[in-house]
Structure 1
Amino acid sequence: MSAKKKILIRIGSLRHGGAEKVLVNFLKNLPEDKYEVDLLINLYTGMYIKEVPSWVKLHYLLKGEMITTNKPHEIPVKAFRVLYQKMFLWFPALLYQFILKNKKYDVEIAAIHGMYRELLSSPQKDSKKIIWIQNDIFNLKEYTPNVISQLFKFDRILVISNKLKEEMQKAAKNEQEKQAVIKIFNPIDKDDTLKKANTTIDDYPFSNDIPTFISIGTVYPQKGYDRLLDVHKKLIDEGLKHQIIIIGDGFDFEKTLAKLNELGLQETVKMLGFRSNPYPYLKKADFYVMSSRHEGFPTIIAEALILNKPVISTDVSGIKDLLQDGKLGLITPNSEEGIYGGIKKFLTDRELTTSYETEIAAADLPFVLQKSVAHLQEIIDEL
């Protein structure tokens, strides 16, 4: 039996988010007898910490809750955290000596693109480096052409959609850099999703048979909930009855709620805040709507498909792969008009939504856990 491959994986925290969930799904399904995994998180916090398998050695820089606001008493804590983390970026040898106890790694993985500097500053020059790009970085201001060129210093660049793969390969300077870019589906645990969806809930906000759309995600500007509310109001005014549930919290929550009240939509839109298990709500709703301005790989769409929900989504990164170019759901232009047209279609054409349900039920979904984990192992093993 050959020695186990020693792997270091880095991520910011394990709070609720797509990349964090993907990482935990991946770890839970890696064979313990093949790998020795150290997981280093900057901030020891989040709902997924308890899901990390016991054989994975967990290291952290800091402990405490995530701070997402700028309240005066929180600013010193935030400043200290930033400096403390920066120190290890400036003096990586300290990190590897004191926190990782001088362990040697065969492979080092940035489980999210935001950790690229940390990985590239590693004093272990012989380890193979992998970066996992979990968002459409070509839509993020900080990812300038210069930063993107840095990413090609990694041995493998994992991307989560064909669109991202094309963009990265366009940015590559030579064939070797092109070859480093690999498209990989984020692993989704189908059985786990189905099991969680069957949990009983007693606070589902609607008790009528009016068509109900649900949207789940952190309430940030990129999610486009402001557009969704405007579209909803327009359709209601036109006499097309429907309801919307939004699950998630985030720094735009209050602002979005204020807009909802301003538009007088309290009866037909319910913002439920964060739910650690949103799947029973998703199961009860009729349709899934995604109004995002940009995404990486919207995991929630995959989960909506597992629960056989017809989906309307704006044309963002990853969506064509997930909805099989529109075979499994409606892809609309990425605009308010696009979302309006999509919802209107679902409300007026019952045959369309039924045909999506039939297609989803018959589809072979490529993001199912086992396939993705096997692909990722292959990538690690060949390095």
Structure 2
Amino acid sequence: MLKKKKILIRIGSLRHGGAEKVLVNFLKNLPEDKYEVDLLINLYTGMYIKEVPSWVNMYHLLKGEMITTNKPHEIPVKIFRVLYQKMFLWFPFLLYRFVLKNKKYDVEIAAIHGMYRELLSSPQKESKKIIWIQNDIFNLKEFTPDVIRQLFKFDRILVISNKLKEEMQKLAQNDREKHAVIKIFNPIDKADTLQKANTAIDDYPFSNDIPTFITIGTVYPQKGYDRLLDVHKKLIDEGLRHQIIIIGDGFDYVNIHAKLDQLSLQDTVKMLGFRSNPYPYLKKADFYVMSSRHEGFPTIIAEALILNKPIVSTDVSGIRDLLQEGKLGIITPNSEDGIYDGMKKFLTDKSLSAQYEKEIAAADLPFVLQKSVAHLQEIIDGL
């Protein structure tokens, strides 16, 4: 009988993010008889915890809800959490001895780019190291050229777009480093998405007689919801009637809501907050709009394609791969004017959405679960 490969996977939490969802999709489709997987979560919290397969051994550093604000009573808890996690970064042998019970691993995986220090500090020098970069790190302040150079210490660097692959390979200093960078599509469970989209909802905020755009994602400045509201106002003032639904929460929620009120858009924009199942809303809307300033691999775009939605998106990392260079949706310059032109095309040319729906229906979508999981297994087995 073949010896199972022992794998340690590390992630911050299992909250509602793209990287977290991708990891759980991957775990749910790994063959249990081939691998022994330990999943170490910094903060044991999040909606995806219940979806982790029972055969995966789960460990955690801390338990509790994520703290996203700075209320006075929360600050001591935040400080304690940061220091506690830092302790294991400074003295990693404590983590491997007391939390992971001296287990030995063949492969260690950072399931998110922010975990690179934790993996590189591992006392297990024999294990192969993989980092899965789920964001456009070239747009993140903390990822300076020096930090990005450190990533080449990993045996494999998984990236989720051609753009990221090209940028990383430019920085490679030899063939080994160049070959370490591998593009992989995030696995999306098509059947699961379609099933969830068919759930009945009774709080859809609009009637269907006016064109409706939807956008889904954590309310952070990178998502560009501020510029989406400005574009919406401009189009409305020009007499182009339409509505927008924003699904998601986050630290910028209050600011975006205040801007919505300030622009007097209460009747045409609805912020629904977080929804654990946003797909029925996506299914009912007419178009998907992505106004992001930067992204890694926008999982929600893949899901919008599965639901055959016409899409308008800024030209962020991953979007050209997903929309096949514009064949499956409108890719606009990454600016307010770009978003404006893209949305206006759908509102003024009624035949355009049917054209894209036809292209999407006929397309071979490369991010289908089975293909991505098989590719990832191939990478792990090849180490």
Shift of 1:208: 3.6
Q: Deviations over 1:11-31 (max 9, x none)?
A: 000000000000000000000
2:123 match: secondary structure: coil
CA displacement at 1:265 relative to structure 2: 0.4
| 1:251 to partner: Cα distance | 0.5
Counterpart CA distance in 1 for 2:142 and 2:15 is 22
Match of 1:361 in 2: 361
Report whether the alignment pairs 1:157 with 2:157.
Answer: yes
CA RMSD of aligned residues (A): 0.4
Q: CA deviation at 1:351?
A: 1.6
Which amino acid is 2:372 matched to?
Answer: S
> Match of 1:278?
278
- Measure the CA separation in 2 of the matches of 1:278 and 1:12: 23
Counterpart amino acid of 1:150? Q
User: Paired residue for 2:170?
Assistant: 170
2:346 aligns to what?
346
* Identical-residue share of aligned pairs (%): 87
**Matched ranges for 1:195-344 at <5 A:** 195-344=195-344
Whole-angstrom distance in 1 between the partners of 2:223 and 2:113:
19
Partner Cα distance (2:153, 2:2) in 1: 28
Question: Which residue of structure 2 lines up, in the alignment, with residue 55 of structure 1?
Answer: 55
Please give the alpha-carbon distance, in whole angstroms, between the structure 1 residues aligned to 2:140 and 2:95.
29
Aligned to 1:148: 148
Once the 2 structures are TM-superposed, how far is the Cα of residue 350 of structure 1 from its aligned partner?
Answer: 1.5
Q: Which residue of 2 aligns with 1:185?
A: 185
State whether structure 2 residue 359 is matched by structure 1 residue 378. Answer: no
1:132-169 Cα offsets, whole Å, 9 max, x none, are: 00000000010001000100000000000000000000
Give the structure 2 partner of residue 40 of structure 1. 40
Q: CA deviation at 1:296?
A: 0.2
Say whether residues 1:138 and 2:142 are aligned partners: no
Deviations 1:194-248 (A, max 9, x none): 0000000000000241000000000000000000000000000000000000000
Separation in 1, partners of 2:247, 2:269: 11
Give the superposition deviation at 1:257: 0.4
Could you tell me which amino acid in structure 1 is paired with residue 254 of structure 2? E
**Shift of the alpha carbon at 1:112?**
0.3
TM-score, with structure 2 as normaliser: 1.00
Q: Unpaired runs of 5+ in structure 2?
A: none
- 2:289 is paired with a residue whose SS is strand
Match of 1:118 in 2: 118
Q: Read off the aligned partner of 1:267 and give its amino acid letter.
A: D
Q: Secondary structure at the match of 1:132?
A: strand
Deviations 1:233-282 (A, max 9, x none): 00000000000000000000011001001100000000000000000000
Separation in structure 1 between the aligned mates of residue 100 and residue 343 of structure 2, nearest angstrom: 51
Give secondary structure in 2 for the equivalent of 1:152. helix
Tell me the matched-pair count.
Answer: 383
1:353 Cα deviation from its structure 2 partner: 1.2
The one-letter code matched in structure 1 to 2:95 is L
- Residues 275-315 of structure 1: CA deviation (Å, up to 9, x unaligned): 00000000000000000000000000000000000000000
Q: TM-score, normalization: structure 1?
A: 1.00
User: In 2, distance between residues paired with 1:207 and 1:329?
Assistant: 25
**Paired AA for residue 136 in structure 1:** D
Q: Match of 2:67?
A: 67
In the alignment, the residues of structure 1 paired with residue 8 and residue 239 of structure 2 have an alpha-carbon distance, to the nearest angstrom, of: 56
Question: What is the SS of the residue equivalent to 2:153?
Answer: coil
The one-letter amino acid of 1:128's match is K
What residue ranges of structure 1 are gaps of 5+ in the alignment? none
Q: Which runs of 4+ in 1 moved over 6 A?
A: none
Mapped partners of 1:257, 1:145: distance in 2: 36
Distance 1:73 1:54 in 2: 36
Which residue in the other structure is 1:7 paired with? 7
Q: In 2, Cα distance between the equivalents of 1:104 and 1:343? A: 53
The Cα of 1:175 is off from its aligned counterpart by: 1.1
